[in-house]
Structure 1
């Protein structure tokens, strides 16, 4: 398993104990309150085996991303639902040995990208009717679409990349 968290180059972060806002300590020698702006863009990437055990890990990472950015419960719910569906689809349908999940958060949106290295398998016949609300399967991408302002699926000989954007 490989993962990384990278603030974008434009983002700044000042930790407690560093220089105060104006660079001058208070008269008692303690630093003044420091400014901790959020990075303008935070990217998190993880590569996992394409197994059912990986889906809860991705869901927990989604929660950590929203909490790190101090986002609303609604944003957390949306991101966890979307990434759970996309990761589950990759695990169940791609035949890929591993999946890569990327979260990107900025002030306006949350983007999740799930990539697999499997083969795109066309559906034998297109679904003509809407999702059956009583069925165990078949509603996932409709759910993702409801949470997102943009979603794309890009199949290729090297695998499939699904990108979903949630507005904040």
Structure 2
């Protein structure tokens, strides 16, 4: 009677940390460019559509805030994925043009100014750190799973 040896199943590879970092001029066109970068990156990392859309919206809103409400000439974007969640950081080195408490009642009913409300709705948490050197906003977007059979690609 012949015996057949079966190979041991291969161990699953360790999760690959995914990261993309970009510095760009603080212009209206940069909002579009960084939103597209975020979406493309998430697709390359096999992020499901829901969190992919949330990522694009969060990046768009946070970069828009830098362009409209800061004196920063540049904006930095850092996106990381740890196999469970996306973390977005948007960093500027400018000063805010107006204070949060300075919005009048009429401005509160304007058709703009809902960026952080959208960020809050798309994330499970976010932080805002303001210093004399600028502002850093960090947002955390949960990702329940990846598309089956796809591994992340590095170097977005």
Determine the C-alpha separation between the residues in 1 that align with 2:32 and 2:103: 30
Determine the C-alpha separation between the residues in 2 that align with 1:89 and 1:38: 37
Structure 2 residue runs without a partner (length 5+): 1-6, 144-156
One of 22, 39, 43 as aligned partner of 2:19: 43
Q: TM-score normalized by structure 1?
A: 0.71
Q: Assess if the C-alpha contact under 8 Å between 1:38 and 1:69 holds in 2.
A: no
**Bigger helix share:** 2
One of 92, 100, 103 as aligned partner of 1:123: 100
Structure 1 residue runs without a partner (length 5+): 1-21, 23-34
Determine the C-alpha separation between the residues in 1 that align with 2:104 and 2:124: 23
One of 68, 71, 74 as aligned partner of 1:92: 68
CA RMSD of aligned residues (A): 2.4
**Larger relative contact order (Cα-Cα within 8 Å, sequence gap ≥ 6):** 2
- Give 1:128 deviation, angstroms: 7.3
- Equivalences, count: 133
Q: TM-score normalized by structure 2?
A: 0.76
